[in-house]
Amino acid sequence: MGAGVIKGGGGGGRRGRRRRGKAAAMSEINVTPFVDVMLVLLIIFMVAAPLLTVGVPIELPDTAARSLPTEQEEPLSITMAADGRLLIQTTEVTEDTLIPRLQAIAAERTSDKIFLRADGGIPYARVAQLMGALNSAGFNSIGLVTDTDGPTFGGGN
């Protein structure tokens, strides 16, 4: 891909000599195909990167709240599925091991921010209990994750 043959001795590397009758190998590399391949790979990765976010499928409640600003540290999220399962990021944990695991995680992190993803069908008392457990584990800044563009408090969209 890029090597070729120059016939007739014109336009090569050494200008003083010209070989007649013999074909000289071209020593320049053609960079255009390489750039084309790199651009195609760049587009593929740009399209595929947003699809790589992994999460547990739950039905988040719709609200009119705005999203929180991003941070340098990867956000920690707790998910409470409709069937009652608890997940730290994507790892399922039991209720007994939740607080010790969160305390160990809080000791390694610089931020006390955590995001709570709870299914909309879970009773509020259960979500409040989980928020109390998160607070006792050392996470004082709890963000509730919802879907945007939902109904506002006054009933309008």
Model confidence at 4, in pLDDT bands (50, 70, 90)?
low
- 65 alpha-carbon distance from chain centroid: 22
Domains of the chain by residue range: 89-146
- Report the half-sphere exposure of 57 (CA within 13 A, side-chain side): 0
pLDDT of res. 11: 53
8 Å CB contact between 87 and 81: yes
The H or E element spanning position 58 is none
Judged by average pLDDT, the poorest of 41-50, 65-74, 79-88 is 65-74
Q: Record the tokens describing residue 41, joined without a space.
A: 């790979």
Q: Kindly tell me the sign of the dihedral angle through the C-alpha atoms of 105, 106, 111, 112.
A: positive
Q: For the segment 5-39, what is each residue's pLDDT rounded down to a tens digit? A: 556 555 555 555 555 667 778 788 888 889 999 99
Q: Which CATH class is domain 89-146?
A: alpha beta
Residue type, 25: A
How far apart, in whole angstroms, are the C-alpha atoms of residue 78 and residue 135?
Answer: 13
Whole-prediction pTM: 0.52
Q: Record the tokens describing residue 121, joined without a space.
A: 């069908």
8 Å CB contact between 101 and 88: yes
Report which DSSP code applies to 42: H
